[in-house]
A = this chain, B = another copy of it.
Amino acid sequence: MPIKVFIVDDHYMVIEGIRSLLQHEKGIEWMGHAMNAASCLGYLKQQQPDVILMDISLPDTSGIDLCKEVGGKYPAVFVIGLSTFNQQSFIQKMMDNGASGYVLKNATKSELMEAIQTVANGKTFMSDEVAQSLKSNNSSEMPVLTRREKEVLELIASGMTNNEISQRLFISVTTVDTHRKNLLEKFNAKNTASLIKLSVSQGYL
């Protein structure tokens, strides 16, 4: 029984590439593709593949959120994250949201095949490169932010002062300052400049 594979990616060339790689593979049944989250969910109402290759960046919802939704509604469908970025932040988020694997877009055919087969069997697959970057950087990376902290962080990045933020959020300046203090601590940042740099590079902004 062949493994049914579906792909969600907004890059036509990547879809085409994967199709050309997998189409004539034994053991793989090519189910088609979607170019955004909505059409993926629409497709899943009709048919369920065994494995979905899912880009993390999609035009409507992010692959990270889509992954969560798919996992909740269709537990039998396994998701493999697909991305250009070998960044622990994205990989971590994707796995936290129920992905069974993560493959970079520079993966070889055999790597991709291995990933699909492994995941279809209910196991977890991660290419060596990815696994390594996760290990090397899992010590103190990626703080967990509260909703409010994220909100404040975004406003800081947009150039607002504590005073302006406090007015926008209807809270006191001292509260904003506390959130700021906590953000600095969570990111282990020395000041605003490094805070913003770190949060952008880790995918928070």
By CB atoms of chain B within 10 A, which of A14, A18, A107, A112 has the most? A14
The list of the 6 closest CB pairs from A to B, nearest first, reads A17-B17, A159-B194, A20-B20, A16-B17, A13-B17, A159-B190
- The reply to whether B161 and A191 contact each other, CB–CB distance below 8 Å, is yes
Quick check: is A201 within 8 A (CB to CB) of the other chain? yes
Q: Which residues of B contact A38 (CB under 8 A)?
A: none
By CB atoms of chain B within 10 A, which of A156, A193, A200, A205 has the most? A193
Closest to A105 in B: B11
- The reply to whether A193 and B156 contact each other, CB–CB distance below 8 Å, is yes
The quantity of this chain's copies bound in the complex is 2
Q: Which residues of B contact A68 (CB under 8 A)?
A: none
Interface size class of A (residues with CB under 8 A): 35 or more
Quick check: is A136 within 8 A (CB to CB) of the other chain? no
Q: How far is the CA of A156 from the CA of B11 in the complex (A)?
A: 36
Q: How far is the CA of A109 from the CA of B20 in the complex (A)?
A: 14
Query: Distance in Å from the Cβ of A113 to the closest Cβ of chain B?
Result: 13
Q: Given contacts A18-B13, A84-B84, A106-B12, is CB(A197)–CB(B194) below 8 Å?
A: no
Q: List 16 A-B contacts (CB under 8 A).
A: A10-B106, A11-B104, A12-B106, A13-B18, A13-B21, A13-B106, A14-B17, A17-B17, A17-B19, A157-B194, A158-B193, A158-B194, A159-B193, A192-B196, A193-B196, A200-B200
Quick check: is A108 within 8 A (CB to CB) of the other chain? yes
